[in-house]
Chains A and B, each alone.
Chain A
Amino acid sequence: MLLGPSLVLSAILFAIGVIGVMIRRNAIVLFMCVELMLNAVNLSFVALSTAHGFGGQVMVFFVMTVAAAEAAVGLAIILAIFRHTRSVDLKNINLLQG
């Protein structure tokens, strides 16, 4: 019924998240964009579960758990970086440059 529109919405949200990761420099914003992508995927899982059974809904819980864990670790890292450099601008964080 609403499967088509739901998937379209999911795709739009995912694309926003991807573009955000690609062009934004602020670590926090970037982080939120990652969350946005995860939740876009969650949306499509839920939408598809109506057609394919509950497996998708179970998967959503997994994703949310992982996202929570990731947010905890990720935010802690960002905090640590901020303490060190007084900035969360990714332009300045390039320690892995070859």
Chain B
Amino acid sequence: MENFLVSINYTGWILHVLLALPLAGAVAVALTSAAVAKRLALGITIIEFLLSAPLWFMVNTATGTMELVATVPWIPQWGINYAVGIDGISLMMVLLTTMLMPLCVLGSFSYITHREPGYYALLLVLTTGMIGVFVALDMFLFYVFWEVMLVPMYFLIGIWGGKNRLYAALKFFVYTMAGSLLMLVAIIVMVRVAAVMGGGKVSFSYFHLLSYAQTPIMGRLAPWLFLAFFLAFAIKVPIFPFHTWLPDAHVEAPTAGSVILASVLLKMGTYGFLRFAVPFFPNVAFSSGVTTVVVSLAVIGIIYGALVAMVQPDIKKLVAYSSVSHLGFAMLGIWAASIQGVQGALMVMIGHGFSTGALFFLIGMIYERRHTREIDAYGGIAKVVPIFSLILTFVALASIGLPGLNGFVGEFLVLIGSFQQFPIATGIATTGVIFAAAYLLWALQRMIFNKLDKPDNETIPDLTRRELIVLVPLLIGIVWMGLYPKPVLDRMEPAARRYILTAKGMPIPGEAVTPTRGAAQ
């Protein structure tokens, strides 16, 4: 297998194909009829996943450096390149994305009933955007992908969403845009400063900017630049108090939209912190003031998200607020900057992708049957839909963080990793697991347990085979990540270590200190 992949120069073209295939597919899908569109989109996303799967073996993650790097000039006058690369962290994010997309397409078959070609085309464009964000090594390219992803999501919510979709779509768009425009300004400022420092060489390259990030001029600007990056990513994560777009967007988005939002889009915020905001400006990020603020916000998010989730009457909103809580753990881990903390944050990101994705699928499925998301409209349906109830319970337990399932691994690592540095904050954050149990079990009880007392619920059909096919990969992922996360952790560890060293401003063993950094002292 490996020989074959080498013989076809797999590592040479795979990233470009992963980016180009969905885009080309989107054009094709947009031009076909509804019946063809869904099948074609499914085929493309499956091919995309199959193509990406060998990355698991073929990317050398042992050093934590960027692999499969390719650079092609794009707008040479401004130093803009098409530059991509992949390391252990982005590998997992890319695989998570490509794995979820076929499920999202398949899960939409019966949910989307009008303007299908457009819908599936947008999903494919979104795929390119998401993968692009995770592999871009040029800040301009990164920004382009970052925005590319925004547009399809806007339309997905705005066209195929629920009753209040226009408000939600606009809120999502403006909220995110407000952050990302600030980030663009920061990127341009960084490029200008680097050009001045570097004798006029203009470059948007990630590594180029990284090597100038520690210079004194940049240092003086750093607080403002960091703030801009912080806002862009904090909104995306979302960190309390920048989270209010999330419940609205989740509630109004179609099922696949919610799944993608929760499973991948939110991870771009934390990914942004890991890849850009913190490594660029470690001195600001880990100054005592910023640390205090971020850690407090993370802990507030954990508790606040859980408490607010507890009182939601709408099951989708409940899950949306639970995301605020879960991503708070990821932020805590990233700021702990210990190996357990960072690995834990990454596991939270992956684990949340599986369990929350599955939760949104399940909610979408029951919504298709009963056309309501009110928790109190259900009750006792375990008797009518046993398989649905079983899977919902299972996924809810994973989300609660039951050891042996995926949620626990991440939370445990984050908490143990940040305990040494922030014992009080971690102690408070740990109590989040109580509230997590409270909100999910309470909702579970009101939905599937208690008395079957509403006539509308008595005739709900159980899950179909297609729906089971959508869910089973996620369930496998949940068990796998819970029982044997080692291969994933091992692949991410070198990259996570590299992040920690950069974050602490320490030289990376075996690599010469970048001359510019030394010269600038």
A and B touch in the complex (CB under 8 A): no
Using a CB–CB distance below 8 Å, which chain B residues touch chain A? none
Using a CB–CB distance below 8 Å, which chain A residues touch chain B? none
